[in-house]
Every structure is written in structure tokens, then in C-alpha cells.
A = this chain, B = another copy of it.
Amino acid sequence: MVAATHRRLVDAAMALFAEQGFDSTSIEEVAARAGVGRTTFFRHFPTKEDVVFPDHQGLLQRVDARLATATAATGRTALEEATSIVLEHYLAEGETARQRYRLTRTVAPLRHRELASVHRYFRLFSGHLRRWLGDRPDAALLAELTASSIITAHNHVLRGWLRGEVEDPRVALTAVLEQALSRLPGETATEAAPVTVVVTTGSRDVETILGEVRRALLEP
């Protein structure tokens, strides 16, 4: 029953960490409460921190698989769904995710471990974005900016849900992703889609701006 031992170790660790703190709990104690030897703990988890976190390896693979199927044209949908995969994983965890959040907020090593995991998602997203953006000169920068925006937006929603401040995280995620993906070149769809315009200017003169817009559109 390797799966059962795994579960017992996680439960024992979470309980002890909540009771007496992460630093004040030795792996020997965790193993003892789980009814196994110290060696067995390290057969299931490479480090003391790993017992707290979900299976990011498997999650990363699923996200990677989703992003790998997409092209430049379908990238936006792939990004939304890939981000959703991660969010859904946490939502399915429920109280476990909240318990972990409480731990990572207070224990520095766990927080650092979390940051390392987040960075792997960043690398994954920016890699695929880079692939879709082709050989334009700012492809690398644009890919990294968009990837970090996606991660930040996702974490913003996730954190809100973990704190109980967001009622519908799925709706919230699509909303914030809209902002995160704003730098991406628009879909190639030439249908009569609603027009979205973003204007940044040092001048407020309408006709000057309109002139610049006309020129930018007509002389590419």
C-alpha cells in the first residue's frame, strides 16, 4: 500500500506542522506519527518541504501537454485553458490548499520552495509563447512579459480564493487573464469583432491622436 503510506505521511506532516510549527517538527516525528521509519519518509519525498506541496511535476506535464498542442493562432485559448488546469487543481484540493497557504505564508523555506515551483511554470509558459511569437525582434521580451503577467494574474486570483475573498475564482480568472494577455498580438480572425483600443499618450488632443492612429494603421 504505497499510496496509503504516502497519504499517511502527508496527513501526519500537515498535522504536526500546524500543531508545533515546521521548524520544530523533525522528520523522525512525522515518520513516527505515520507509523513508518525515517527512511521510508525519504523514499516518498526527497526533502522535508516536498511533503507540503502538490505533485507539481505531474501538473507541469499536463500544462505542457496542453500548450504543446497549440500554435500561434490558437495560443490564446491554450494559455487560458492551461492556466485553468492549474487553478482547478488547487480548487479540487479545497481545504488542503488553504492549509498549505497558511504554512507557506509563515515558513520561509516553504515560501521559497513555492517560488521555485512558480518559476517553473513561468519557464514553461514563456517557452511556448516564445515559440508562437516567431522571430520578431522583441519576441523573447514579449514572451517573458506575457508569461509573468499570466502567472501573476493567476496567483492573484488563487490567493484571493485561498483567503476566502473571491467567490467565483473561475470567472475572476478569465477576467484577469484578459488583462494579462493584452500585450499579445490579436487573433488573425478578421471577422467583425468588437474593437478594442488602448491609447497611451502624453497629449490629450483628440485630433493629434487620431492622426497618429491613421498614420500607424496605413503605413505599417
Q: Report which A residues bind B (CB closer than 8 A).
A: 111-113, 115-116, 119, 138, 140-142, 144-145, 147-149, 151-153, 156, 176, 179-180, 182-183, 185-187, 189-204, 206, 208-210, 212-214, 216-218
Contact = CB atoms under 8 A, between A and B. Distances in A.
A148 B152 contact: yes
B141 A145 contact: no
B148 A151 contact: yes
Contacts of A186: 200-202
**Looking at chain A's contact residues, is the secondary structure mostly helix, strand, loop, or mixed?**
helix
A202 B191 contact: yes
A216 B182 CA distance: 17
Contacts of A209: 195, 197, 213, 217
18 contacts: A112-B113, A112-B116, A141-B153, A141-B156, A142-B179, A145-B152, A179-B183, A186-B200, A186-B202, A190-B203, A192-B203, A194-B202, A195-B203, A195-B208, A195-B212, A197-B212, A198-B200, A199-B216
A201 B195 contact: yes
A176 B218 contact: no
A140 to B, nearest CB: 7
Contacts of A191: 202-203
A116 to B, nearest CB: 5
A202 B195 contact: yes
A213 B193 contact: no
B190 A196 contact: no
Contacts of A183: 179, 182
A53 B59 CA distance: 31
A60 B34 CA distance: 43
Nearest to A179: B145
Contact of A112 (B112, B144, B213): B112
